[in-house]
Structure 1
Amino acid sequence: MTLITQFGGGKTHTLTTLYHLATQGNAAAGYDGVADLVREAGVGSIPKARVAVFVGNAWDPQPGRETPWIDIARQLAGDKGVEALGPAARTTPPGTESIARVFQAADAPVLLLFDEVLNFLNRHRGSAEFFLAFIQNLTVATTGTTRGAAVISLPRSQVEMTEWDQQWQDRISKVVRRVAKDLIANDETEISEVIRRRLFEDLGSERVRRNVATAFADWCFERRAQLPPEWTAVDTAATETKAREFLRSRFEACYPFHPATLSVFQRKWQALPQYQQTRGTLAMLAQWISIAAQEGYRKARTEPLITLGSAPLDEPGFRGVVLGQLGESRLVAAIDTDIAGEQAHSKALDADTKGPLRDIHRRVGTAILFESSGGQTDKVAHLPELRFALGEPEVDTTSIDNAASALEDRSYFIRKAGSDGFRIGYQPTMKKVVSDRRASLDEATEVKPSLRRIVDDEFRRGASIPVISFARDGAEIPDTPRLTLLVADPELEWSGGGSLRVQVAEWTRQRGTSPRLYPGALVWCLKKPGRDLRDKVELMLAWKRVAREVAEGTLGGEFDRSDRADLQSKVKDSEVAAKDGVWGDYRFAVVADGQETDGLKAIDLGAGHSSSGETLCGRVIAALTSEALLNESVGAGYVERNWPPALKESGAWPLTSLRQSFLNGSLTRLVHPDATLRDKVVEFVNRGDFGLASGRKPDDSYERVWFKEPVGTEEVAFEADVFLLRKNVAQALRAGGPPEPLPTLPPAPDAGTASAPEPGKDVSTTTLRLVGTVPAELWNRLGTKILPKLRSGSDLKVGVDFSVTVSSANAAILAAELRQVLKELGLDDAVRVE
């Protein structure tokens, strides 16, 4: 007899029933339903028989049962049965006569039950031909006796068969059906009752069952406006208490399953041609429960009910059962990519989820698969259905909605359907094509040039100071007093140290081989480590390429109309995201700072995003300003407080030195130092905070002094002979007080009466030398008090020997500044810096 069933159509239960009837005989009459079976069969008693069982998915060779026929012979007649097969049976299938001798050795009616034959053949492919020969001989031997029967179960559905399975299914069927009678067995009953009786021996505590049902019913009732009406609709005349009780009864009836878990197969899968409503569901749920039990020990998250979201799609066996029932094996790629693969999009989104929301994106994706893959015409998982299927007392509907939107935005096979629906299919969305195009981008000719272009464009947009992008050498960076923004190449990533910091420090101090005069005017902007910006630029390029291909007609026929309609908005969004990536990645500004060990100070700009009202250049300037490293302007009080001690006595500060102090890091930086200082000096002089003088005379007076009067900006020249005067000095000079007079010499005799020196008499002279150490703060007073006295003599010589100790990092900068001052004074040939 050949037992033909669908997968899960009741074949195993039929074989089990036959086993108990044959082994128990009349004792089996007390089992439920057996009396009805005996009466309907018209037999007076139940004969006992010797039974041999072969279960292909469980059978493996062992000592004493090296082959299936040896195992069957031992079950029927013990060692006598094995002896009846003969010694060749260990390697060769027995013939019909050997099998007949086994039947005789059993000394009783025999019943042979074969289940999961294809499974055995698949696992032991090397024995397939031998087993086929054994089955053929067995069927012949069985037809030759009146005291034996064989029942071989074969699946009817080919949904879950491979090509190899189908080939062997056909071969076995041809052999068996020559002498067999087909019996189609089905055990289709109401699904919920079958599940209760066949999957669970005990549903656990009745109190827990009622508490869980009550909690879920209350949650659904409070959110009934957001859930499917078929689950929450009750008679309008019913009271709130009755409505809650109705919901509770529905949850209690399905416990430990969520009602949506069981109903989805009736609501949406029932029309599928390959789906077996009862046994197909049992096949899935049996594995589901087994895996869920293991997960309960392995993971911290447990669920009071088995929801659609908990389906273990990451298990290949379970996934195979699901896709077999759906009849759509092409969904494997969609499941792996978006829901349950090692690199699935849901897994990436769930990386930071925890507590009740743990794995929420995977659960939403799983529910979308079950709700949108049935046989109905409208294959859509609507948000109300997802909320009902996944909602629980600690998870609100908003979290489910957000997870669905986030997953759809990232997925390659899940797409929006209408205003509140989602569906999954084997056809990729446009995002998948974009991903493929992104993978084919050329790094050297497409990615890097576009990356540099978008960075350069974003920094230059609305820039208020000069921008120099991607300098390859320090010599390319000009040594200018104007504040300059230097944008580092995207390939260079600032981590706070390493070779990049050394390079930036060197280029800040040196221009080529020459020390810089204005290192404080340079502001570096560098990228943080990571691929965020590069990823966004690659995505933008991919979207643009897809848009171009669609416009040219080479792409787009396989996409939904909604995908094509959203294309331009996706391109625009990717461009905005790339600009935001520049703002987010270029978050470090680095400036010269003499107080740091290596002369550099780094500032973290923080996270940012592009906007029409702000520029990247303005963002850097604002950050420097907030750190007191940059000012738009400067006040008189600031200049007074930072007046060099060496110049306080004279009260005169050369404008060249004043400007240099704002550019070398001694004083705060100015965005536009020359223009700002000119305007502020004019303002200071007009207001009487300071004076301005030019043309210094040997007697320390000046050719021109301005104080409390308007002065033209053209008079404010950054030259060594133009000075900013302290208020008291300017007041004294404007008051007309005469400078200290030079020593007077005796009048020379009249030329007509002068007498020649007497012969033999020489004028006696003495040379005076002033030697010692002078405090720096007294240097100016030394010059104004001592030099006029020394001018009364002849052959005056003044030499200097200054020494100062500075850090090695700043030595070159200071030496360059000193040489510049000497050059401005015309002493660069007379005084050298060693």
Structure 2
Amino acid sequence: MSLKPWREIAVPHEDVLKGTFQQAEFAADLSRVHDGTATAEYQDPSLFFQRTFITEGMRLLLDSVVKRLSGKGGDPVIQLQTAFGGGKTHTMLAIYHLANGKALPSDLPGVPAILDAAGVTELPRARVAVLDGIKSSPNQPVTRGKQSVRTLWGDLAWQLGGDEGYSMVADADASGTSPGKTVLQELLSRCAPCVILIDELVAYVRQFEEGKALTGGTYDSNLTFVQALTEALKAVPTAVLLASLPESDREAGSQRGIKALASLSHYFGRVQALWKPVGTEEAFEIVRRRLFTTIGDKLATESVCRAFADFYVANKDDLPHETQESRYFDRLLHAYPIHPEMFDRLYDDWSTLDNFQRTRGVLKLMAKVIHRLWKDGNNDPLIMPGSLPIYDADTRNEAIQYLPQGWDPVLERDVDGERSEPVEIENRESKFGSVQACRRATRAIFLGSAPSTSNQLVRGLELERVVLGVVQPGQQIGLYKDALRRLGDRLHYLNSANNRFWFDTRPNLRREMEERKRRFQDKEDVFPAVRERVQRSLATGVFGGIHVFTASGDVPDDWQLRLVVLPPDAAFSRSGQNLATERAKEILKARGEQPRQKQNRLIFLAADYDNVSRLKDQVRSMLAWQSIVSDIREMKLNLDQFQAKQASKSLEDAGEALRRMVRETYKWLLAPMQEARPGKAMSEVQWEHFPLNPGALNPSQEIERVLKENELLITEWAPIHLVGVLKTWFWKDEIREVSAVDVWQKSCQYLYLPRLRDDVTFQTTVGAGADSRDFFGIAQGKDEGRYVGFSFGKKTSIFMDSSLLLIEPVTAAMFAEAQRAAEEARKGATPTTGTGTTTPPRVEDSAKPTYPAVPGATSQQPPKRQFYGSIELDPFQAKKQFADLVDEVVLQFTARPGVKVKIAIEIQAETETGFDDNVQRAVKENCKVLKFRSAEFEQGE
């Protein structure tokens, strides 16, 4: 969508374009116009009315004054009481130019229509008196012609009637006492038609101290004069008074000013007429006439405004409700080329500030804004809050002069400028930079939130209004919302809550949090917090124990299945260096100083390497919020109620984010395993790794699911699988039975055997297999070659103790058959022994073969009590080989009580050239220190 930029349609006045406008030019000065020293735009009646938009309030006033001066009614006294900068003086100037008759009414734009409405064909020329409360001094007489005038009534009389008029109140002027109502009535009658304009009367009266007389009279005499004057005006049908009073006590100034305002309001209130102040819609036209000469292309103007209005309707869910009304299109037209939201923020928000005059303040600020945008070639269709050139020093200074101290760093860092955070974000991310999304958003938020105060119940600018102040037809609203989210994470002075955004001169809690994050160290603070969160999230379930960040010496070496959670600095990565498996291997290998026996009882849970840094950052954020909330409770941190609630909410959010991050990070299950085949060497320890689902509701159940589905853990075991293990590793050669407990214990020790949940699982499998002749027979022991408590293919109770034997099925069948034959023989004429009992069948004992996979299996041979072994080491790898030798062989003996181990090392070295003295001396000294029993060099053969 191609829309004409505002600069191609609306042309600013020359002084705005060149930046030559003066602040004073925006201030209408009634006294200077009366003295003939004002600038042309105020002094010349025609030029003044050309640049003046006659508001509804002004039209009503002019109508009343016209009727009054023509003797057709109208109000005798009109009080102009509006907010600071509400257009009072400008309205008085309009009446001044209309009444004094220096220009024909037909030459004053807008005036003929007023005369017609009032039914006045010819407006009489009136005498005009101007009393300026700021220019006049209560204790300094002024010279009028040949007269020295002391008081307001003296000055009024001279301005209306010259020397003759002054003579009527000369005595009262000299004595400082108010003339009577009759004298004032006669003065007004002689000088009628007449207009009296009194500006800033409170500023004059508040200078009098009660009980103290000045040249201009006393406090009471001036109040009496006002009362007498207002009463006299009612009796003169062609005389009118307009007086301006401040709207609030704040504008009245001191306590005397407040008292003077109350008294004057009382006297004027008895006869005053109401006056409607300038409305926001009317202010559009006032500002436009003062800042722009013409609006050229009407069709292009309507096209731009229609495009905005249609865009707002199409995106109604993201914008304020008033943008959906048909009259919003009219507002866009009336305000063009300035967006109505810009006026709303200035008139509704900024006008609440001390010293910011509603009309004059807006004119001054907008003049600087338009000058800078024109100079920079701004091509926006409308001048919007997002267009505000805060980067410009003049514009920035004009804005912050009305604000409390402390806004400079806010603007420089968080709002606009080359070194600001929004600019940095836009430079890094082109999607934001292409439309200046970050800067436009921060400018709009500043304009809408800067005038707010910390004690406001509801602070900030709604998201819908931020969007209204920045987005243009054809742009994506979501882009600005993304920018706001990014800004919320990065800016130090930006606050947000309940879908509202605002800037504050105090750094937001996020900055405090970011600074506190630096206090926390990994080992001392972060890892313990992660440990506590992980511990809290896991239940034992299938595990006999869960060991979070536990040293190898504190992980028990027993028959229970255990989950070992590795710390964040031992994270798992599919590629690159794998710290997790290295740390897990250390724990798997030893328990402290002792070698670990039950290696097949450990499962490991490891963090994802790519997520660890984010996890640690989130922990630091949570700890920082925790410390802030703690300091608030202990009154160590002075925050307002909103910030205290925000801190508590942020702590909750950080805790919830940490819970999710822990699940996303601790996502790898690691299980050690070895491959082995009978008669061949075992492989090195291998690590199977499987990811967990971070979104699972119950982490413990998710771990159990992954273990079961990948057969890392067996909770239900079929007898046929047990038989397969028995045939492969236990029933070998001449061995035909094996201790059930020994099988269970070996499965807990060796990584190539199945990993069962517990001994109950094993016992259940044995019980299920004992019912059938397909798997094994069982016996509760063996005595003199005979099975005791033998059962084969029958339901029987299983007692898992050291005497329970699992018998190879062929052997069990043979023994069962022999047992049956013996039983039949006993029932028949079977020979008996000398004791008269039948001899039960005998199973020949067989020696247990040696096989590497299951050392220490059941054997009937006499125990072997000694071991001797020798090995030659590579002299260049001797250090590593000897360490392996100690770990793999020596520790097998030293770990068992009562085993005496003796290690002797024999070193032989020879050279054809002979060893020099230095070598001999070094070796002998070192051998002496190491306490060699013998160390000699020989000549050799």
What is the TM-score with the length of structure 1 in the denominator? 0.54
Question: How far is the alpha carbon of 1:634 from its aligned partner?
Answer: 1.8
Letter in 2 for 1:624: L
Write the mapping of 1:764-779 to structure 2, written as runs, cut at 5 A. none
Out of 685, 706, 721, the position equivalent to 1:638 is: 721
Out of 538, 547, 550, the position equivalent to 1:468 is: 547
Which residue of structure 1 aligns with residue 586 of structure 2?
Answer: 506
Go from structure 1 to structure 2 and tell me whether the alpha carbon gap of 1:336 and 1:737 turns closer, same or farther (over 3 Å shift): farther
Out of 719, 724, 734, the position equivalent to 2:816 is: 734
Q: Does 1:524 align with 2:604?
A: yes
Question: How far is the alpha carbon of 1:443 from its aligned partner?
Answer: 6.8
**3-state SS of paired residue (1:367):** helix
Deviation sequence 1:139-194 (CA, Å, 0-9, x none): xxxxxxxxxxxxxxxxxxxxxxxxxxxxxxxxxxxxxxxxxxxxxxxxx9954567
Deviation sequence 1:514-571 (CA, Å, 0-9, x none): 5433222212223334333333333333333333333333434x41x23334554444
Instruction: Provide the C-alpha distance between the structure 2 equivalents of 1:477 and 1:213, rounded to a whole number of angstroms.
Output: 74
CA contact (8 A) 1:707 1:731 kept: yes
Which residue of structure 1 aligns with residue 707 of structure 2?
Answer: 624
Write the mapping of 1:363-762 to structure 2, written as runs, cut at 5 A. 363-374=440-451, 380-392=460-472, 412-416=492-496, 421-440=500-519, 446-447=525-526, 449-459=528-538, 464-472=543-551, 474-495=552-573, 497=577, 501-512=581-592, 515-529=595-609, 530-556=612-638, 558-559=639-640, 561-594=641-674, 599-601=685-687, 603=689, 605-606=691-692, 608=694, 614-615=698-699, 617-640=700-723, 644-645=727-728, 647=731, 652=737, 654-655=739-740, 656-657=742-743, 659-661=745-747, 663-672=749-758, 674-686=759-771, 690-694=775-779, 702-713=787-798, 715-717=799-801, 719=802, 722-725=804-807, 730-736=812-818
Structure 1: 5+ residue stretches without partners: 1-7, 16-32, 41-187, 236-242, 297-302, 741-773, 792-796, 803-807, 830-834
Out of 310, 327, 330, the position equivalent to 2:406 is: 330
Instruction: Provide the C-alpha distance between the structure 2 equivalents of 1:263 and 1:705, rounded to a whole number of angstroms.
Output: 98
Write the mapping of 1:39-438 to structure 2, written as runs, cut at 5 A. 190-192=286-288, 213-224=305-316, 227-234=319-326, 246=330, 249=333, 253-254=336-337, 259-261=340-342, 264-269=345-350, 273=355, 276-288=361-373, 307-309=384-386, 315=391, 317=393, 320-321=396-397, 323-324=399-400, 327-328=403-404, 330-335=406-411, 344=421, 354=431, 363-374=440-451, 380-392=460-472, 412-416=492-496, 421-438=500-517
Letter in 2 for 1:620: I
Letter in 1 for 2:715: E
Go from structure 1 to structure 2 and tell me whether the alpha carbon gap of 1:531 and 1:339 turns closer, same or farther (over 3 Å shift): farther
Go from structure 1 to structure 2 and tell me whether the alpha carbon gap of 1:343 and 1:698 turns closer, same or farther (over 3 Å shift): farther
**3-state SS of paired residue (1:705):** coil
Go from structure 1 to structure 2 and tell me whether the alpha carbon gap of 1:350 and 1:487 turns closer, same or farther (over 3 Å shift): farther
Query: Percent same amino acid among aligned pairs?
Result: 16
Instruction: Provide the C-alpha distance between the structure 2 equivalents of 1:322 and 1:485, rounded to a whole number of angstroms.
Output: 66
Deviation sequence 1:377-434 (CA, Å, 0-9, x none): 98631233223223455666677668657755876533456x5543222134444444
Instruction: Provide the C-alpha distance between the structure 2 equivalents of 1:671 and 1:290, rounded to a whole number of angstroms.
Output: 79
Go from structure 1 to structure 2 and tell me whether the alpha carbon gap of 1:550 and 1:483 turns closer, same or farther (over 3 Å shift): same
Letter in 2 for 1:526: A
CA contact (8 A) 1:339 1:347 kept: no
Letter in 2 for 1:486: V
CA contact (8 A) 1:270 1:375 kept: no
Question: How far is the alpha carbon of 1:366 from its aligned partner?
Answer: 3.4
Question: How far is the alpha carbon of 1:705 from its aligned partner?
Answer: 2.9
Deviation sequence 1:597-649 (CA, Å, 0-9, x none): 8624253535636x9x624x444333333333223222234334555446378
Instruction: Provide the C-alpha distance between the structure 2 equivalents of 1:335 and 1:602, rounded to a whole number of angstroms.
Output: 55
CA contact (8 A) 1:479 1:516 kept: yes
Instruction: Provide the C-alpha distance between the structure 1 equivalents of 2:479 and 2:755, rounded to a whole number of angstroms.
Output: 50
Go from structure 1 to structure 2 and tell me whether the alpha carbon gap of 1:818 and 1:562 turns closer, same or farther (over 3 Å shift): closer
CA contact (8 A) 1:516 1:816 kept: no
Go from structure 1 to structure 2 and tell me whether the alpha carbon gap of 1:372 and 1:462 turns closer, same or farther (over 3 Å shift): farther
CA contact (8 A) 2:17 2:374 kept: no
Instruction: Provide the C-alpha distance between the structure 2 equivalents of 1:575 and 1:14, rounded to a whole number of angstroms.
Output: 56
Question: How far is the alpha carbon of 1:702 from its aligned partner?
Answer: 3.3
What is the TM-score with the length of structure 2 in the denominator? 0.48
Whose radius of gyration is greater, 1 or 2? Answer: 2
Instruction: Provide the C-alpha distance between the structure 1 equivalents of 2:665 and 2:764, rounded to a whole number of angstroms.
Output: 37
Letter in 1 for 2:629: A
Go from structure 1 to structure 2 and tell me whether the alpha carbon gap of 1:512 and 1:195 turns closer, same or farther (over 3 Å shift): same
Instruction: Provide the C-alpha distance between the structure 1 equivalents of 2:813 and 2:887, rounded to a whole number of angstroms.
Output: 33
Instruction: Provide the C-alpha distance between the structure 2 equivalents of 1:285 and 1:597, rounded to a whole number of angstroms.
Output: 80
CA contact (8 A) 2:543 2:562 kept: no
**3-state SS of paired residue (2:564):** strand
Go from structure 1 to structure 2 and tell me whether the alpha carbon gap of 1:288 and 1:445 turns closer, same or farther (over 3 Å shift): farther
Question: How far is the alpha carbon of 1:466 from its aligned partner?
Answer: 0.8
Question: How far is the alpha carbon of 1:218 from its aligned partner?
Answer: 1.8
Instruction: Provide the C-alpha distance between the structure 1 equivalents of 2:777 and 2:393, rounded to a whole number of angstroms.
Output: 91
Indicate the larger mover: 402-411 or 215-224: 402-411
Instruction: Provide the C-alpha distance between the structure 2 equivalents of 1:572 and 1:691, rounded to a whole number of angstroms.
Output: 60
Indicate the larger mover: 731-740 or 210-219: 731-740
Which residue of structure 2 aligns with residue 765 of structure 1?
Answer: none
Go from structure 1 to structure 2 and tell me whether the alpha carbon gap of 1:339 and 1:526 turns closer, same or farther (over 3 Å shift): farther
Write the mapping of 1:11-30 to structure 2, written as runs, cut at 5 A. 12-13=19-20
Question: How far is the alpha carbon of 1:334 from its aligned partner?
Answer: 3.7
Which residue of structure 2 aligns with residue 174 of structure 1?
Answer: none
**3-state SS of paired residue (1:670):** coil
Go from structure 1 to structure 2 and tell me whether the alpha carbon gap of 1:250 and 1:290 turns closer, same or farther (over 3 Å shift): same
Deviation sequence 1:739-765 (CA, Å, 0-9, x none): 99xxxxxxxxxxxxxxxxxxxxxxxxx
Question: How far is the alpha carbon of 1:371 from its aligned partner?
Answer: 1.6
Instruction: Provide the C-alpha distance between the structure 2 equivalents of 1:351 and 1:631, rounded to a whole number of angstroms.
Output: 52
Instruction: Provide the C-alpha distance between the structure 2 equivalents of 1:725 and 1:349, rounded to a whole number of angstroms.
Output: 78
Instruction: Provide the C-alpha distance between the structure 1 equivalents of 2:654 and 2:352, rounded to a whole number of angstroms.
Output: 42
Go from structure 1 to structure 2 and tell me whether the alpha carbon gap of 1:814 and 1:448 turns closer, same or farther (over 3 Å shift): closer
Instruction: Provide the C-alpha distance between the structure 2 equivalents of 1:828 and 1:738, rounded to a whole number of angstroms.
Output: 50
CA contact (8 A) 1:338 1:346 kept: no
Deviation sequence 1:167-225 (CA, Å, 0-9, x none): xxxxxxxxxxxxxxxxxxxxx99545676669x9x99x987x77665443222123447
CA contact (8 A) 1:261 1:389 kept: yes
Instruction: Provide the C-alpha distance between the structure 1 equivalents of 2:435 and 2:737, rounded to a whole number of angstroms.
Output: 72
Instruction: Provide the C-alpha distance between the structure 2 equivalents of 1:367 and 1:247, rounded to a whole number of angstroms.
Output: 19
**3-state SS of paired residue (2:717):** coil
Go from structure 1 to structure 2 and tell me whether the alpha carbon gap of 1:574 and 1:224 turns closer, same or farther (over 3 Å shift): closer
Which residue of structure 1 aligns with residue 919 of structure 2?
Answer: none
Indicate the larger mover: 477-486 or 339-348: 339-348
CA contact (8 A) 1:458 1:582 kept: no
CA contact (8 A) 1:416 1:423 kept: yes
